[in-house]
Chain A
Amino acid sequence: MLLINCPYCGPRAQSEFTYGGDASLHRPAPDASMDDWFAYVYLRDNPKGAHVELWQHSAGCRSWIKVRRDTRTHDILESP
């Protein structure tokens, strides 16, 4: 089980969090091209290695935090 560091509550078990997916995506401007919107909604780099992702401390303070984690080992490389 992951031990995720919440900046407000301290290190907490993964079971207190909800996964929010790839945090490297940037929402395009409302008038951006269809290609940009398509890439934002559907395409993922899906790296085998370091992955920047969102987790919500849903059973705690409910804040969204950004974590960098290795998808090969599950090791958390960086958290707030």
Chain B
Amino acid sequence: MTYSIFSLARHALSGHKRWPLAFRSPAPAKAYDAVIVGGGGHGLATAYYLAKRHGVRKVAVLEKGYIGGGNTGRNTTIVRSNYHLDANAHFYEHSLKLWEGLGRELNFNVMYSARGVLNLVHTPAEMDAAMRRGNAMRLNGIDAQFLSHDEIARRIPNLDCSPDARFPILGGLLQPRGGTVRHDAVAWGYARAADALGVDIVQACEVTGIRVDGGAVSGVETTRGFVATPRLAFAVAGHSSVLAAMAGITLPIETHVLQAMVSDPVKPVLDTVVTSGAVHFYVSQSDKGELVMGGDLDFMNSYAQRGNLPIVEHVAAACLSLFPSFGRLSLMRTWGGICDMTMDGSPIIAKLPVQGLYMTGGWCYGGFKATPASGWLLAHTIAHDAPHELNAAFTLERFAQGRMIDEKGAGPIPWMH
């Protein structure tokens, strides 16, 4: 069924009691042409593009919990493509272009809001870095605009732009097309669209083993039985190491926890996304009115999906140093999501060294904005058994070859990216 003003009106007349389910919940079949492990945004997008763009219809998505119940529902919903290095810039810009048309593509309102993403600059060194990155973005055809102190003070009246601020603001780099997307809608929209193309989305089905025969994948063991497939892909960021280990592969990844938190909801006070690298903080206001905030990792390996208080305190302190008036609000909820932290801070969207095995992962704490392009490119890689030019650099082998894509120049210390 197509969602439209007419279907809305028709169902309004019957009291919204007859809406059909958006997608089926089938039991797994015995065999598929391709199996995707992980029913988050990345896995569902991969299945959707496999069916839509490459005509691979006998596809299953296996999810151990419920769809969108992992990192897709735990991020802070920000989308942007303000990267410096070419491989990242082209990849994330492809993703942002897909975001811009995604609501229409999926016939599902993902609430893409191009409210802009502003990176604050507090020091002359940061000013140089922001100018350099902004110029690199513009050379790559990506929108970037440097805002002066006065322009920022005019646009964001709550921000402390006074010279007495703890970290005085000198300016900022704005990407106007950046913004936010409703994260749950991304999972639901891709699930519904993939299901309509015949993809089986199997929930409560955990992968417990991988069967490899003669160097090639032949299927997966799951809590709901064996599923045969010649092509298997992981979209399980946070648990990539666990899945890869089932196939005997050790990854250049550590799993770390990243926290996020929201204030109680208030009337509109902030109409853009504000970030500060210097104080490790970012904030936006959700459509429900909550201020959605985050900062650094907890700086220790963790699969726990929850963090510790020192980071919450750090984020709150950073928030108040920039927005003193937010001190009247209280924190309503905090939570954590677990992230694949790679050794160069960039993802892996690639074939793995077992025939028929693929992965998208290593998203560090920036996976949400990559969702459409990650699925688009993993689907291409699976269908052609070879990468697209946009993910050709994001291989697993680059670490051994010295072809790191290290945006921050932090080196092989995964929690520093």
Known: A51-B301, A72-B303. A14 touches B252 (CB 8 A): no
Q: Does B165 contact A (CB under 8 A)?
A: no
Across the A-B interface, how many residue pairs have beta carbons closer than 8 Å?
A: 70
Q: Is the CB of B255 within 8 A of A19?
A: no
Residues of B within 8 A of A (CB): 239, 241-242, 245, 250-255, 299-304, 308-310, 343, 399-400, 412-415
A69 to B303 Cα, complex, angstroms: 12
Known: A19-B300, A74-B304. A43 touches B413 (CB 8 A): no
A39 to B412 Cα, complex, angstroms: 12
- Secondary structure at the A interface, as helix, strand, loop or mixed, is mixed
Q: Is the CB of B399 within 8 A of A44?
A: no
From B252, B253, B399, residue with most partner A Cβ within 10 Å: B252
Residue of B242, B245, B310, B413 touching A21 (CB-CB under 8 A): B413
Q: Is the CB of B250 within 8 A of A74?
A: no
Closest to A49 in B: B303
A46 to B301 Cα, complex, angstroms: 8
A53 to B299 Cα, complex, angstroms: 12
Q: Is the CB of A2 within 8 A of B308?
A: yes
Closest to B399 in A: A42
Q: Does A15 contact B (CB under 8 A)?
A: yes
Q: Is the CB of A71 within 8 A of B301?
A: yes
Q: Is the CB of B400 within 8 A of A71?
A: no
Give the residues from 32 to 76 in chain A that come closer than 8 angstroms, CB to CB, to chain B.
34, 38-39, 41-46, 48, 51, 53, 69, 71-74
A73 to B304 Cα, complex, angstroms: 6
A59 to B400 Cα, complex, angstroms: 36
Known: A1-B309, A1-B310, A14-B308. A46 touches B241 (CB 8 A): yes
A23 to B69 Cα, complex, angstroms: 32
A2 to B257 Cα, complex, angstroms: 14
Least Cβ–Cβ distance between B131 and chain A, in angstroms: 32
* Chain B residues within an 8 Å CB radius of A48: 239, 241-242, 255, 303
Closest to A51 in B: B301
Least Cβ–Cβ distance between B31 and chain A, in angstroms: 29
Closest to A18 in B: B299
Least Cβ–Cβ distance between A53 and chain B, in angstroms: 7
From A2, A48, A53, residue with most partner B Cβ within 10 Å: A48
Residue of B255, B400, B412 touching A46 (CB-CB under 8 A): B255
- Name 16 extra pairs, CB < 8 A, besides A44-B251, A48-B255, A51-B301: A1-B310, A21-B413, A21-B415, A34-B400, A41-B412, A42-B343, A42-B399, A43-B250, A44-B241, A45-B245, A45-B250, A48-B303, A53-B301, A69-B300, A71-B301, A73-B304
Residues of A within 8 A of B (CB): 1-2, 14-15, 18-19, 21-22, 34, 38-39, 41-46, 48, 51, 53, 69, 71-74
Least Cβ–Cβ distance between B400 and chain A, in angstroms: 5
* Chain A residues within an 8 Å CB radius of B241: 44-46, 48
* Chain A residues within an 8 Å CB radius of B304: 71-74
A32 to B20 Cα, complex, angstroms: 63
A38 to B398 Cα, complex, angstroms: 11
A5 to B282 Cα, complex, angstroms: 33
* Chain B residues within an 8 Å CB radius of A42: 252, 343, 399-400, 412
Residue of B250, B299, B309 touching A44 (CB-CB under 8 A): B250
Closest to B314 in A: A15
A18 to B413 Cα, complex, angstroms: 13
Least Cβ–Cβ distance between B254 and chain A, in angstroms: 5
* Chain B residues within an 8 Å CB radius of A43: 250-252
- 16 A-B residue pairs with CB within 8 Å: A1-B308, A1-B310, A18-B299, A34-B400, A38-B399, A41-B343, A44-B254, A46-B242, A46-B251, A51-B301, A53-B301, A69-B300, A71-B304, A73-B304, A74-B300, A74-B308
Shortest Cβ-Cβ A-B pairs, 6 listed: A46-B241, A42-B252, A19-B299, A42-B399, A48-B303, A43-B250
Q: Is the CB of A14 within 8 A of B310?
A: yes
* Chain A residues within an 8 Å CB radius of B254: 21-22, 44, 46
